[in-house]
Chain A
Amino acid sequence: MSKEATVVNENNAMIRDMIRDFAEKEIRPHMRVWDETQEFPVPLFRKMGALGLMGVLVPHEYDGSGFGYQEYVTVISEIARVDGSIGLSVAAHNSLCTGHLLQFGNEAQKKKWLPKLASGEWIGAWGLTEPNTGSDAARMNTVAVKDGDYYVINGSKNFITHGKSGDIFVVIVRTGEKGDSRGMTAFSIVKGTPGFSSGRKEDKLGMRASETTELIFEDCRVHKDNMIGAEGEGFIQSLKVLDGGRISIAALALGIARGALEASIIYAGQRHQFGKPIASFQGISFKLADMATKIEAAELLTRRAAELKDNHQPVTKESAMAKYYASEIAVEVSTEAVQIFGGYGYTKDYPVEKYYRDSKLCTIGEGTTEIQKIVISRSILA
């Protein structure tokens, strides 16, 4: 193993232990209540900020942790191994909002906002999707019209993580022709800006501690200094942000799958039927073998994408493959976990029904499985 790989492995082991210690104390005891009441636990995010988990990829000069994607994959998957919804929020904060500002913000914007995001003092949100434009994001209806030094934004965004509790929002809105990939522009909007508000909070199947709401813009005036990059570049930027975002969701799915497998292994060893542990029956042990193998494959795809990203190589195809595969196997593994737990798996007293509900988001959020297949097929047919 190269010296560099040894360092990454040792850092990852230390990060893994740190998150396990933190999650057992600060997440596991509360996650059922957060899930049942759909509470987004803001104080937890401040604590994660103090640990450096809210600015994993942000360089030290902006008060971030200065790590790469390999360590980032460890962070997201280890949090999701305990609670997928907290993993999702940490992922959205780090890779979408913070990631967009980090990649495309100018120096003044980065100096102004990144330290607040990296410390967890501010929670970040990112808005691309609209009620009628999900996969077809380029046909968005929310528009920004130039008025002197300001842009006036009207419209709405939906399914926005941290839409209510977020302190800063990066939103992509239309400044040109509908359907023109150069007709959209990214702006950052700080909470409390007149004309900007959050709408309905979604009541979701899973990922319930992660807040998802609508954003509403009614003659919201945003100064041109809040434009990220140049006018017309917003959509192109967002595709690049999503290349990294897919690694996030792959890591999220990986963590959920691993949590479901670990719970299944313990249960299958303890649960006795016909006088022996159910793990001793091939029907169960083969399921566990399949689950473990799929997780291993998903991790290799995810780590491969992370490696390319860390080396600044093209990653669109590989991150789509990792996201597609890891999210699909997270659903399969957590479904099998419920099956192994039998009747108990269907109850809230056991952990696996939550993995089962949470996992499904992974095949939908930040590009559905079908969109990933489009991305992959375009890449291999090009």
Chain B
Amino acid sequence: MKILVCITHVPDTTSRIAFTDGDTKFDSNGVQYIIGPYDDYAVARAVELKESQGATITVVNVGRVETEPTIRKALAIGADDAIRINAEPEDSYFVAKQIANVAKDSGYDLILMGRESIDFNGGVVHGIVGELLEIPSVSSVMKLDIDGNVAKIAREIEGGKEYIELEMPFVAGCQEPIAEWKIPNMRGIMTARSKPLNVVDPVDTDHLDKLVRFELPPPKGDIKMIDPEHMEELVSLLKNEAKVL
């Protein structure tokens, strides 16, 4: 089985978010980057499938050279090789087009990724990749088992789960608890550097949209501490000031 796992290189969940250039550019100053948490689950499930039934795992990322440490972390966790498509991941369509281009003639049985990135939260790349490759795509995949050529999947739907079966190849947007989350071991960290990391040029892609600007949520108001003895004051504030009661 050949698995392609698409990973994002995103700010750590505790990062302080700011913008520059008239709110049109993310300020990456001092930001620590991680593998997108949903993508991390996709990597972990791919490694589990490799361990249980044998597979080769390629990770792919659309990004500049600074994403390589993040890519090597996926190699340390257990991927066999990696592809970096040397371009800024400008929007979902651009990223999907790049992924589809490297995947189209490579015969992957499974293309896994997180259900969404945690920076721009588009949640559409898996759908577009499926469409471009003319194969099915499913998302919010919480469980993924492979039996022969058939995948048995549980998806999260509003208020419950949906169980489906489909034949490979397909694209899946993954989320927990699809796999036991994995941390690399020392051997993995050491061997990550000796695994192939191939850099390829992007293909020309139309821009279907244009960024106007970003906006941060309004800052949180000051916290008012109310003495537990004065419940009536709390109720009055919740009613009249916060207007939540």
Contacts and interface: CB of A to CB of B under 8 A. Distances in A.
A91 B190 CA distance: 20
Contacts of B76: 14
A52 B183 CA distance: 12
B193 interface: yes
Interface stretch (A5-13, A95-103, A128-136, A137-145): A5-13
B187 A14 contact: no
B20 interface: no
B185 A14 contact: no
A14 B69 CA distance: 8
A109 B224 CA distance: 67
A216 B184 CA distance: 40
B133 interface: no
Contacts of B186: 15, 51-53, 56, 65, 67, 71
B187 A52 contact: yes
A14 B73 CA distance: 7
A34 B73 CA distance: 32
A50 interface: yes
B185 A50 contact: yes
* Contact residues on B (Cβ < 8 Å of other chain), bracket: 10 to 19
Nearest to B184: A18
Contact of B189 (A18, A21, A22, A60): A18
A179 interface: no
Contacts of B73: 14, 17
Nearest to A63: B187
Contacts of A51: 183, 185-186
B30 to A, nearest CB: 15
Interface string B150-193: 00000000000000000000000000000000011111011011
Given A65-B190, A66-B190, A67-B190, A10 B185 contact: no
Contacts of B9: none
A52 B185 contact: yes
A22 B72 contact: no
Nearest to B190: A66
Contacts of A13: 69
Contacts of B72: 10, 14
Interface residues of A, number: 20
B209 to A, nearest CB: 34
A310 to B, nearest CB: 15
A21 B69 contact: no
A14 B193 contact: no
Interface string A57-78: 0001000011100010000000
A355 to B, nearest CB: 22
Interface string A1-41: 00000010011011101100110000000000000000000
Interface in A41-56: 50-53, 56
Nearest to B68: A10
A11 B185 contact: no
Interface in A347-362: none
Nearest to B188: A52
Contact of A22 (B183, B187, B190, B192): B183
A21 B183 contact: yes
Contacts of A10: 69, 72
Contacts of A7: 193
Contacts of A60: 187
Nearest to A22: B183
A17 B35 CA distance: 12
Contacts of B193: 7
Interface in A252-284: none
Contacts of A53: 186
A67 B186 CA distance: 8
Contacts of A56: 186
Contacts of A18: 183-185, 189
Which of B69, B189, B190: most chain A CB closer than 10 A?
B189
Nearest to B189: A14
A65 B173 CA distance: 34
Which of B76, B186, B190, B192: most chain A CB closer than 10 A?
B186
A15 B189 contact: yes
Contacts of B192: 14
Interface string B56-86: 0000000000000100110010000000000
Given A10-B69, A51-B185, 17 more contacts: A7-B193, A10-B72, A14-B69, A14-B189, A15-B186, A18-B189, A21-B183, A22-B183, A51-B183, A52-B185, A52-B187, A65-B186, A65-B187, A65-B190, A66-B190, A67-B186, A67-B190
26 contacts: A7-B193, A10-B69, A11-B189, A11-B190, A14-B73, A14-B76, A14-B184, A14-B189, A14-B192, A15-B186, A15-B189, A18-B183, A18-B185, A21-B183, A22-B183, A50-B185, A51-B185, A52-B186, A52-B187, A53-B186, A60-B187, A65-B186, A65-B190, A66-B187, A67-B186, A71-B186
Interface of A: 7, 10-11, 13-15, 17-18, 21-22, 50-53, 56, 60, 65-67, 71
Which 3 residue pairs across A and B have the least CB separation, nearest first? A52-B186, A65-B186, A51-B185
